[in-house]
Amino acid sequence: MTETSIPAVICTVDVVLLTLQRDVLQVALQRRERPPFAGVLALPGGYIHAQEDADAQASAARVLREKAGLQSPYLEQLATFSGPVRDPRGWSLAVAYCALVPPELLASAPLTLVPVAELPALPFDHRAMVDAAVARVRSKSQYSSMPVHLCAEPFTLPQLQSVYEAVLGEPINKVSFRRKMDELAMLEPVPGALQGGGAHRPAQLYRVRPAYRRNLSLSARGL
C-alpha cells in the first residue's frame, strides 16, 4: 500500500460540558445538523482545523465558541477515543475534553441540558465520554478546586459547599470543608462584599484567585 492510498483518519474534538442545575449535575447536548445521526442529541464537537488550531485544546475552545458562545471555560483533556467502528464514516479519532461552567453562562446557549443520570441514547461513543467525564470530576473533586468552576462568582462558602456536595452526591462536614478550602488557598474575599443573611450574620462573598481561574489547586488529601 502506498502512502497516497492510505485512507484519511477522521480527527475531531468532543466536549463534555458539565454544569449544575437545581443541584443536579447536567451535561449540555446539541442536535447534530449533518449526517451521520442528523437531528440526534450529541456532545458539542467538530473537526480539528489543522491550519487554524494550535493544538487539540485550541480546537475544543473554538468548538465551544462557535457552537455554544462560550469564551474559555475551564477545559481539561479527558481521553482519546478511536477505532474503525465508532464513526460510520470511517476510522476516526476523537480527543475528548471536559468543560465546567456555571449555569448562568448557558442561559442563552443553543444547548439542551440533561441530567447525567438520565441520558438519552447518544451517537458514536459519546455516552462513554460522559461517563468518563463524570467519574473524573467526582474523583478530582475530593482533592481539588474543580467544583469551583461550576459556581458563579461571587459566592459564599455555604454556596460553594453546596456545589461540592451536589457533585459528590453526599453531605460534607462544615468544619472539614472550610479546612479544605484553606488548604487549597484558591479563594480570595471580595473586599467589602457581603451577602445578607436575613436573621443571620451577613456572609462574606468570595471569588477565585486569578492563578486558579484556568488551573486547579490540588490538595494532598481528600475531603
Instruction: For residues 111-115, give the mean pLDDT.
Output: 96
Q: pLDDT tens digits, residue range 129-164?
A: 999 999 999 999 999 999 999 999 999 999 999 999
The three three-digit cell numbers of residue 206, written as one number: 468570595
- CA 97 to each of CA 14, 28, 173: distance values in angstroms, whole numbers, following the listed order: 6, 13, 31
Q: Do the Cβ atoms of 18 and 134 come closer than 8 Å? A: yes
CA neighbor of 147 nearest in space, from 223, 80, 33, 56:
223
H or E, element range at 58: helix 56-68
Exposure of 87 in the CB half-sphere (CA atoms within 13 A):
14
Q: Round to whole Å and give the CA distance between 219 and 85.
A: 40
Q: Round to whole Å and give the CA distance between 40 and 45.
A: 13
pLDDT of residue 9: 92
Maximum alpha-carbon separation in the chain: 78
Q: Do the Cβ atoms of 146 and 65 come closer than 8 Å? A: no
Q: pLDDT tens digits, residue range 22-78?
A: 999 999 999 999 999 999 999 999 999 999 999 999 999 999 999 999 987 899 999
- CA 82 to each of CA 5, 30, 46, 77, 88: distance values in angstroms, whole numbers, following the listed order: 20, 22, 15, 15, 12
pLDDT of residue 3: 58
pTM: 0.93
Q: What percent of the chain has pLDDT over 90?
A: 85
CA neighbor of 216 nearest in space, from 74, 20, 73, 72:
74
